[in-house]
C-alpha cells in the first residue's frame, strides 16, 4: 500500500480504500496461485495491538487491513486523515461474494460452534448462485489438530478461506499457518458466521448509520461491558498519542 492508501492508527496501518476498492483488490488476488491474508481490525483490536507489539506486527503483516468499526473512522478524523467509509468484515464478505460468485469461487468456512459453518455454507450458496462451499470445520480444536485442519483446507482446494475464531485468535492462527496453506484469500472475519446464521444479531441499519452498533451489542450482551471499556481508552489514546505514529 502506498502512503495515500493507508492511515497509521496507533501503529497499525489501516487501509484507506473504500468498500468497492477493497473488493476490487480481493478480486485481483483470485486465481493468482498465492496465499493472501485479510484482517478487519476495529478499535478494540487496534488498541489490543497497541498494547501488544507482537500482535501489532501480525496485523501489519496482512495484505489487507480494512477499517471495521465506526471507532476507527472517528480515529482517522482525529488524526486529520479521514477515511471515506468503514469497511466492516461482514459487509466486505457479502460485497466480495456478490462480485466473485460469477467466477465459481470455492470457499472454505472455518469457525464457530458445530453445525454453524455448515448452515452458513448453505445460506451463502443460496444467496450467491455460483459460489461453491468446498468445506467446513467448526472452531473448536486442540493445538495438535491444527495440521489436520490445514490439510483439510488444502485438500478442498479453496479460493477463499473464512477464519472466524474471534480476535486475536484468528489473526494469530492465520499468521502461524499462512505459509502452510497452499493458496487462496484467507480472511479473519470474527463472528460473521454467527451473524449470518442468526446465532448473534447485528444492530439494525439505523443504529449502524448512527455509529451505535457497539451500544446495540452492549444492550444485548451486557457481559461485554469489560471489553467495551477498551473503546474510550482507544479514543483517548488516539487523541493524545496518535499523531506520532503517523510520522513514522
Query: How is residue 120 written as a grid cell?
Result: 452458513
Please, are residues 13 and 1 in contact by the beta-carbon 8 Å criterion?
Answer: yes
Calculate ∠ Cα 72-11-42, nearest 5°.
25
Q: Which residues contact 4 (CB under 8 A, 6 or more apart)?
A: 16
Tell whether pTM > 0.85.
yes
What is the structure's pLDDT at 144?
A: 98
SS3 at position 135: strand
Phi/psi region, residue 10 (left: phi>0; alpha: psi -120 to 50; beta: rest), is: left
Phi/psi region, residue 69 (left: phi>0; alpha: psi -120 to 50; beta: rest), is: left
Residue by residue, pLDDT tens for the chain (248 residues) are 666 689 999 999 999 999 999 999 999 999 999 999 999 999 999 999 999 999 999 999 999 999 998 899 999 999 999 999 999 999 999 999 999 999 999 999 999 999 999 999 999 999 999 999 999 999 999 999 999 999 999 999 999 999 999 999 999 999 999 999 999 999 999 999 999 999 987 767 766 665 666 655 655 666 655 566 677 889 899 999 887 776 54
Rg (CA), the chain: 17
Q: Which residues contact 136 (CB under 8 A, 6 or more apart)?
A: 108, 109, 110, 117, 118, 120, 121
Please, are residues 1 and 15 in contact by the beta-carbon 8 Å criterion?
Answer: yes
Amino acid at each position: 500500500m502506498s502512503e495515500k492508501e493507508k492511515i497509521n492508527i496507533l501503529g497499525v496501518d489501516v487501509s484507506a480504500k473504500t468498500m468497492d476498492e477493497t473488493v476490487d483488490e480481493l478480486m485481483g488476488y483470485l486465481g493468482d496461485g498465492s496465499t493472501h491474508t485479510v484482517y478487519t481490525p476495529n478499535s478494540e483490536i487496534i488498541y489490543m495491538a497497541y498494547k501488544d507489539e507482537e500482535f501489532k506486527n501480525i496485523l501489519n503483516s496482512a495484505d489487507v487491513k480494512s477499517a471495521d468499526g465506526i471507532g476507527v473512522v472517528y480515529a482517522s478524523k482525529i488524526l486529520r486523515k479521514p477515511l471515506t467509509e468503514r469497511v466492516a468484515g461482514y459487509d466486505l464478505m457479502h460485497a466480495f461474494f456478490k462480485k466473485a460468485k460469477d467466477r465459481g469461487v470455492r470457499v472454505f468456512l472455518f469457525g464457530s460452534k458445530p453445525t454453524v459453518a455448515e448452515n452458513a455454507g448453505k445460506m451463502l450458496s443460496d444467496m450467491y448462485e455460483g459460489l461453491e462451499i468446498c468445506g467446513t470445520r467448526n472452531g473448536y480444536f486442540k493445538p495438535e489438530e491444527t495440521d489436520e485442519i490445514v490439510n483439510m483446507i488444502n485438500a478442498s482446494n479453496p479460493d477463499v478461506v473464512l477464519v472466524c475464531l474471534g480476535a486475536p485468535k484468528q489473526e494469530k492462527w492465520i499468521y502461524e499457518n499462512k505459509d502452510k496453506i497452499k493458496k487462496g484469500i484467507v480472511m479473519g472475519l470474527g463472528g460473521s458466521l454467527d451473524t449470518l446464521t442468526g446465532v448473534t444479531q447485528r444492530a439494525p441499519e439505523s443504529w449502524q448509520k448512527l455509529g451505535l452498533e457497539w451500544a446495540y451489542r452492549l444492550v444485548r450482551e451486557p457481559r461485554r461491558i469489560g471489553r467495551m471499556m477498551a473503546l474510550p481508552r482507544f479514543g483517548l489514546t488516539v487523541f493524545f498519542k496518535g499523531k506520532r505514529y503517523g510520522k513514522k
